[in-house]
A and B are shown apart, each in its own frame.
Chain A
Amino acid sequence: MTASEIIFWFLSVLALFSAIMVLISRNPVHSVLWLIVVFFAISGHYILLNAQFLAIVNLIVYAGAIMVLFLFVIMLMNLNTETEPQRNTWLKVIGVISGGLLLTVMVSAARSAGELSNKTALIGAGDIGLIQNLGKVLFNQYVVPFEITSVLFLSAMVGAVVIGKKD
């Protein structure tokens, strides 16, 4: 086992474990905190794949901005175990069954497909994920979507203002 492999397994286990914890922790604040751990683990994966930009953005945007927002909302609404609404047990069962089925289908399909078994991720190779290359691609080939994204943000901003303004 090389060092990178060890890190890979460690991060994978961490990501899966924290993801499950997000679901099962009763306290919403704990859920959010576990989610942050998930993001960190995934960022670690990105770094292993030599995609530093993605890793950093992931941390800044998700772990940084969005999670803080989540925390704020949860704290402001004063959610905790006591105020948690009674969930429908049936729904829970159905959710687990359907989610599990989806997983089973996907995994079994992937196994039967065969093409993935002889393909492993190349760790630490390639420089596509570097900021320099990313910038070049973004401002050359993908400049149109990049610019159009601004329209998307603009519309979202207008929408946010409409929603947020007091009547």
Chain B
Amino acid sequence: MICSIIVRNKGSFRHIAAFGLLILLIANILETYGKDFFHVNTMQLLQFDRFGFLFNSIALGATLIYVLLTGKEIEKSGKYAAEYFTLIFFVLCGIFILSAYDNLLMLFLGIEIMSIPLYILTGSDKRNLKSNEAALKYFLMGAFSTGLMLMGIALMYGGTGTFQLEVQRISVGMYKGVSFLEITGLLFLMVAMAFKVSAAPFHFWTPDVYDGAPAVFTSFMATIVKAAAFVAFIKLCDVRMTATLGAIDWKLLFALIIVFTLLIGNITAVFQQSVKRMLAYSSIAQAGFMLFALFNVNDVAKEGLLLYTAAYSLATIGIFAILVKMKDYTFEGYNGLAKTQPVLAATNTVFLLSLAGIPLTAGFFAKYYMLAAVVKTGSYIWLVVVGVLFAAVSVYYYFRVIQAMYFRNGNAATETITFSFKTGLIILAAIIILIGILPQVLLNWFYF
């Protein structure tokens, strides 16, 4: 049952890493369709369901593309290429736990296994002061949120007497309904998770860390890791928060967080000078959109979240892959890219359009499903309006890049671009457009 915890820490070079990822991906897809390899009794601590498997597939696929596209950059970013790959695999291991946890202990372990290697990866550019600073900040803020999370878990244990995600309400016995301790614990847990997905007002670490970390690792953090945090979050919401709906007005709470996140992410992204920093804020804004799925957990929301993670991860990986190749990370650095590197500019445009949610790209249907999930609740329509408005705002700063690439004169300097890199980008763009034209192809998978 748990083949997902095979940790291939021997991955010394990117080829081995890519190969390992491929094997994992195949194994995972096979298991989705019910082929078991070996079985471990996890005492109900881990529960592998279709949703988790599908997410694992997406995460693995995205990582595979990520490694294929930017593997060389990973090797270049420091002396210890092998270790970096190992750390990435550790992160993946944490992600698998997060997609399958059924117990708060496992949630904690998963988050930690996922986070600790990231602290290291953030600081991997040791001679760069910014990278070091980012790593330290990330670590301290992360430790703070871990503290909150532990406190939350402890309080919840106090309230319910179990670590299991699903609580037998009858066994609480002594108190009618939901215990006060459980509510407080849940709130703390929620804060910690909001911190991990960089929802406002717990987003402060994000721009600094994403900006400071080497761009290759930012790419990984901003996409796959964030998506995993969301999957963990939605599982938590699905079971625990729905159960406590009577005691806490989650909807109002999430509505406020969503609005605040969208506001901060989008407005701050608008006036950035550096594309990398803009992407950091945009990832906050995108997180605001993904939070829509948590607003009201239903099948549409789950489907939508998977679609969103796929669309968002693919597009962002592509953008970062190009960003890494740029010599100058500011908007000016992109001036005239369409002249010097037409393929890069064209694919980058597709990725940006997808992030902005323009129809015929994957991002459009992703956003559509998110909003549809909220519309289904029947109330909080104003939230949908806010979401659409901010999606419109986001178009502005994504198009700034496109504008720079196509309509500004300049000489965008890039490192040497290999043919295989271009091919990879084109395939990635093709996937995004394919999902955008035929979302059903991917969605037909999603029958839980």
The distance in angstroms between the C-alpha atoms of A167 and B80, with both chains bound, is 9
Contact status B180-A162, CB under 8 Å: no
Q: Report A112-166 residues with CB < 8 Å from chain B CB.
A: 113, 115-116, 140-145, 148-149, 151-152, 154-156, 158-159, 161-163, 165
- Binary CB contact string for chain B from 121 to 152 against chain A (1 if under 8 A, 0 otherwise): 00110110000000000000000000000000
Contact status B180-A151, CB under 8 Å: no
The range of chain B's interface size is: 35 or more
Interface-centre pick from B86, B116, B126, B175 (highest chain A CB count, 10 A): B116
Contact status B83-A158, CB under 8 Å: yes
- Binary CB contact string for chain B from 178 to 216 against chain A (1 if under 8 A, 0 otherwise): 011000100000000000000000000000000000000
Q: Contact partner of B106 among A145, A154, A156, A167, CB < 8 A? A: A145
Question: Which residues of A lie under 8 Å from residue B127 when comparing CB positions?
Answer: 167
Q: Contact partner of A161 among B9, B40, B83, B90, CB < 8 A? A: B83
Q: Would you call A110 an interface residue if the criterion is a C-beta within 8 Å of the partner chain's C-beta atoms? A: yes
The distance in angstroms between the C-alpha atoms of A152 and B42, with both chains bound, is 18
Contact status A156-B116, CB under 8 Å: yes
Nearest residue (CB) in A for B112 is A152
Contact status B123-A163, CB under 8 Å: yes
The distance in angstroms between the C-alpha atoms of A143 and B45, with both chains bound, is 10
Contact status A113-B90, CB under 8 Å: no
Q: Would you call A6 an interface residue if the criterion is a C-beta within 8 Å of the partner chain's C-beta atoms? A: no
Contact status A162-B43, CB under 8 Å: no
The range of chain A's interface size is: 20 to 34
Question: How many Cβ-Cβ contacts under 8 Å join chain A to chain B?
Answer: 76
Q: Would you call A109 an interface residue if the criterion is a C-beta within 8 Å of the partner chain's C-beta atoms? A: yes
Contact status B42-A159, CB under 8 Å: no
Q: Is the interface of B mostly helix, strand, loop or mixed?
A: helix
Contact status A149-B109, CB under 8 Å: yes
Q: Report A92-126 residues with CB < 8 Å from chain B CB.
A: 106, 109-110, 113, 115-116
Contact status B86-A152, CB under 8 Å: no
Contact status B43-A151, CB under 8 Å: no
Contact status A152-B113, CB under 8 Å: yes
Q: Would you call B154 an interface residue if the criterion is a C-beta within 8 Å of the partner chain's C-beta atoms? A: no
Question: Which residues of A lie under 8 Å from residue B119 when comparing CB positions?
Answer: 159
Contact status B109-A152, CB under 8 Å: yes
The distance in angstroms between the C-alpha atoms of A159 and B89, with both chains bound, is 13
The distance in angstroms between the C-alpha atoms of A165 and B42, with both chains bound, is 37
Contact status B45-A144, CB under 8 Å: yes
Question: Which residues of A lie under 8 Å from residue B80 when comparing CB positions?
Answer: 162, 165
The distance in angstroms between the C-alpha atoms of A146 and B126, with both chains bound, is 33
Nearest residue (CB) in A for B159 is A115
A-B residue pairs, 9 tightest by C-beta: A113-B180, A159-B120, A155-B90, A145-B105, A144-B42, A162-B83, A144-B45, A152-B113, A155-B117
Please list the residues of chain B having a beta carbon within 8 angstroms of any beta carbon in chain A. Answer: 5, 7, 9, 40, 42-43, 45-46, 79-80, 83-84, 86-87, 90, 93, 97, 103, 105-106, 109, 112-113, 116-117, 119-120, 123-124, 126-127, 175, 179-180, 184
Extra contacts besides A142-B105, A144-B45, A167-B79 (6): CB < 8 Å = A115-B180, A144-B43, A145-B45, A151-B7, A152-B112, A159-B119
